[in-house]
Structure 1
């Protein structure tokens, strides 16, 4: 394994501004894996726009990205290249509405050297005394948009997610750098958890602000931070209204949504039912295949957040 310290640089002035004993929570919202409804992307953009970020850690993306598999976007203007959306992966220091500092890892998910990168993240976590690392992303799910947005919570200790219902049994899905980060941190004795926001499968390819709100609200619940999630309510209401119009215009889509509503209500109304993925919902193997299809359908991830 390459020396993890070679993968990143730290702005020591910003580091010095984090007072000893601060112990900031680390929120990670990286792009490149499954993110139905752009839940993680929208949440990250919201945080960067709402709370003045200070760059603490900069990762060497040339050492972590496969540009040929996930090509950045360039702009061609008549006779010249006028812009390049330079990929990045970084950790910023932000302060919530109450002035409480926290760290935000955002940008492009590493394509290679996952173990080296995770080891680098461990160094950051231990240097800054991070007590909790928490992330979120969206997954396509057989749920209706007309019901409360649910999440699957997972963590390195059962106590971290004891307040959340279990929606799955044992499921195998494609790995992600964020999932590996949580897994390794748990092995090293650090608390970490994450939230997979359930996004209706029929709008998984579109922007769904309600999913970002659910991600932020669960981040707030688990960390005590005030992340101003309510600022996305207007965009969420507009999107929901547009979806309702499309559903009303199609009897076929309306029937699908109605069936999902009945299924959802049957599950939430019975604590004895094994899970929402039982009966006519996809099996574990089918869910894994759905993840694969979802990834294959992506035309390319815009980098950054």
Structure 2
């Protein structure tokens, strides 16, 4: 393996951090409702953020699979949306310092990247790493948003009930980081918020709000969520308006509600990633409702004609 320390540059001018929490918010794998991105952008826009480390993305990113945006105006290239993978220092509403690690998930050199991230965890004396994710599930927007919690030690997520039994899913760099931290005896937690899969391609701020609330609950950080809460209310109103336009859409949401309620009454042996009971399958319900909402316009786009 090439030297992991050569993947990043860390500023020399660091204040006293104590034992900070590190929030990992990489995007590019599964980010239903763009919840991870929304949570990261909300923290960066509402709290003072100081970049303290940057990674060499030329070593990590496959530009052909995720081409950055360039803007062309008349006869010249005006701008280039340069991708960045950075570690920021922020302070919560009580002034407590914490770290936010965000940007595109590496496509390449996962083991080297993971070793570099773990080296930073050690150098900065991080006491807990928290990963954010958002997954599409067969849940209705009319029920409380759920979250799957996982950790390197069970007592780190006491109070959370499992939503899934044993499943195999494609890996991600963020999940590999949590796994490798656990192998080394380091504390790490992850939260995967459940987004109704018929709105998974649209921005769903309710999921981002729950991610930050989950981080606050597990770490004691006082993270701001008011802006996300207001945005979530607007999106909820828009979805309700669109669904109310036809009996068909109402029936589909009602079927998902019945499936959700049956699941919560007896979770053992079930999961909301697949079909349950005599109801139409989750994929059938979600695909039909997604089709309807796409015809009406995405949530948050405003009234449609």
**Residue pair 2:137, 2:197 contacting (<8 A) in 1 also:** yes
| SS of equivalent to 1:9 | strand
Please state if 1:107 is matched with 2:103: yes
Distance 2:40 2:6 in 1: 26
Q: Partner residue of 1:3?
A: 3
Q: Partner residue of 2:237?
A: 241
Displacement of 1:230? 2.3
Displacement of 1:27? 0.1
Give the direction of change, closer, same or farther, for the CA distance of 1:253–1:62 in structure 2 (3 Å limit). Answer: same
Displacement of 1:277? 4.7
Match of 2:58 among 36, 56, 62: 62
Unmatched 5+ stretches in structure 2: 287-305
Distance 1:11 1:40 in 2: 26
Displacement of 1:273? 6.0
Distance 1:264 1:113 in 2: 40
**Residue pair 1:51, 1:94 contacting (<8 A) in 2 also:** yes
Q: Partner residue of 1:127?
A: 123
Displacement of 1:170? 1.0
| SS of equivalent to 2:198 | helix
Match of 1:48 among 34, 44, 48: 44
Q: Partner residue of 2:172?
A: 176
Distance 1:141 1:278 in 2: 8
Distance 1:277 1:115 in 2: 29
Distance 1:123 1:278 in 2: 39
Bigger mean CA deviation after superposition, 124-133 or 155-164? 155-164
Displacement of 1:278? 6.5
Q: Partner residue of 1:295?
A: none
| SS of equivalent to 1:280 | coil
Q: Partner residue of 2:25?
A: 29
Distance 2:142 2:129 in 1: 31
| SS of equivalent to 1:69 | coil
Unmatched 5+ stretches in structure 1: 291-305
Q: Partner residue of 2:16?
A: 18
Match of 1:84 among 80, 83, 93: 80
Distance 1:218 1:237 in 2: 19
Higher relative contact order (CA 8 A, sep 6+): 1
Residue deviations 1:49-78 (CA, integer Å, cap 9, x gap): 011111111100111101011100000111
Distance 1:252 1:28 in 2: 40
**Residue pair 2:127, 2:187 contacting (<8 A) in 1 also:** yes
Distance 1:218 1:2 in 2: 36
| SS of equivalent to 2:229 | helix
Q: Partner residue of 2:262?
A: 266
Distance 2:49 2:91 in 1: 8
Distance 1:10 1:79 in 2: 39
Question: RMSD value over aligned CA atoms?
Answer: 1.7
Please state if 1:280 is matched with 2:276: yes
| SS of equivalent to 1:143 | coil
Please state if 1:143 is matched with 2:139: yes
Match of 1:232 among 224, 228, 234: 228
Displacement of 1:275? 3.9
Distance 1:75 1:217 in 2: 36
